[in-house]
Amino acid sequence: MPIITFISDFGNTDFYVASVKAAILCQFPNQQIIDISHSTKCGNIAYAGFNIKAVYQDFPEGTIHMVAIGTTDSFQNQHLLVKFNGHYFIGPDNGIFSLISDEEPEEIINLFKPDNWIKSFPAKSIYANIAVRLLSGHLPEELGESVSHFQKKILGSVSINKNQIKGKVVYVDFNGNLITNIDLDTFQQLRKERRYEVEFEYESVRRIAHHYSTVEFGDCVVIFNSLGFLEIAINQGNASHLLGMSINSPVLVSFHPEIN
């Protein structure tokens, strides 16, 4: 049976997450439901999209991902079932799907709404219902009407020339580590064995480390993380607080010729 994952902006103190899960477990008591996160700030599709994109391909193909982000405004949006790379995503058409994958979707279904759907709680009345129907063997085309596109959000990309990569912080994790949109492949293609310098706020780093403990306790360290993105951290500290950086803070990588 396919796994279900669940990400929302419901928080962890109220009944909402449990209520959505209960709607599924009443039909499939042994169903495995994995929580990705419920701590996303309300409607923050950029934060949620980063989390989903980072982890969804770790799950097997056929996994069903419920994406309840920004659903308080969902009466203005359609609700979609979107297929990327063999994975099914259920959520509002508010731009979140464009942040999950860089590839074109295999399928987009504008979901039929049940007669008794709750406009203030589509995660339970629509998403859980669709997940149950997929688990029951229904085909996507039986659950709605095929459409050709969804809303897209553009969050900005890196700016590149032969000597520089201009990026920014796109995610701050629980520990205050700052994850940028500068990826390892781009860095290696431009570097070509040249010296480099990573600049941000009032700091400048000339060495990218392999792990956090390369530097002394409390010192700043720059690594390429497991996702392949440049990350700024403080060994045993909170880089966001200590450096005064957050989402959209600029980060510059400069390349310099070798000195003979």
Report yes or no on 153 lying in a domain: no
Measured CA to CA, the distance from residue 171 to residue 245 in angstroms comes to: 11
Report yes or no on 43 lying in a domain: yes
Among 53, 107, 68, CA closest to 84: 107
Report yes or no on 139 lying in a domain: yes
Question: Of the residues 117, 146, 175, which one is the last residue of a structural domain?
Answer: 146
Residue 209 to residues 5, 215, 221, 235, 238, Cα–Cα distance (Å): 33, 8, 7, 12, 17
Q: Are 178 and 122 contained in the same domain?
A: no
Question: Of the residues 146, 177, 200, which one is the last residue of a structural domain?
Answer: 146
Measured CA to CA, the distance from residue 82 to residue 86 in angstroms comes to: 10
Q: Are 128 and 98 contained in the same domain?
A: yes
Terminal CA-to-CA distance of the chain, rounded, Å?
Answer: 62
Domain with 40, as residue range(s), is: 4-146
Report yes or no on 154 lying in a domain: no
Measured CA to CA, the distance from residue 79 to residue 32 in angstroms comes to: 23
Amino acid at 160: I
Amino acid at 174: F
Among 196, 179, 187, 182, CA closest to 245: 179
Q: Are 135 and 189 contained in the same domain?
A: no
Measured CA to CA, the distance from residue 33 to residue 25 in angstroms comes to: 9
Report yes or no on 152 lying in a domain: no
Q: Are 80 and 199 contained in the same domain?
A: no
Give residue 77's pLDDT: 75
Q: Are 32 and 73 contained in the same domain?
A: yes
Question: Of the residues 146, 178, 213, which one is the last residue of a structural domain?
Answer: 146
Among 17, 26, 54, 14, CA closest to 229: 54
Sign of CA dihedral 158, 154, 52, 73: positive
Q: Is 54 helix (H, G, I), strand (E, B) or coil?
A: helix
Structure pTM? Answer: 0.87
E strand segments, the chain: 4-8, 33-37, 64-68, 79-84, 87-92, 107-111, 144-146, 159-161, 164-172, 178-183, 195-200, 203-205, 220-224, 229-234, 250-256
Measured CA to CA, the distance from residue 20 to residue 7 in angstroms comes to: 11
Q: Are 8 and 85 contained in the same domain?
A: yes
At 59, which CATH number?
3.40.50.10790
Measured CA to CA, the distance from residue 182 to residue 53 in angstroms comes to: 16
Q: Are 201 and 142 contained in the same domain?
A: no
Report yes or no on 151 lying in a domain: no
**pLDDT tens for each residue of the chain, 260 residues long:** 899 999 999 999 999 999 999 999 999 999 999 999 999 888 899 999 999 999 999 999 999 999 999 987 655 679 999 999 999 999 999 999 999 998 999 999 999 987 777 788 999 999 999 999 999 999 999 999 999 999 998 777 899 999 999 999 999 999 999 999 999 999 999 998 899 999 998 889 999 999 998 898 999 999 999 999 999 999 999 999 999 999 999 999 999 986 54
SS3 content of the chain, % helix, strand, coil (to 5): 25, 30, 45
Q: Are 9 and 125 contained in the same domain?
A: yes
Q: Are 109 and 233 contained in the same domain?
A: no
Q: Are 9 and 101 contained in the same domain?
A: yes
Q: Are 135 and 196 contained in the same domain?
A: no
Question: For residue 144, what are the β-bridge partners?
Answer: 111
Domains in the chain, number? 2
Longest dimension (CA), the chain: 75
Report yes or no on 222 lying in a domain: yes
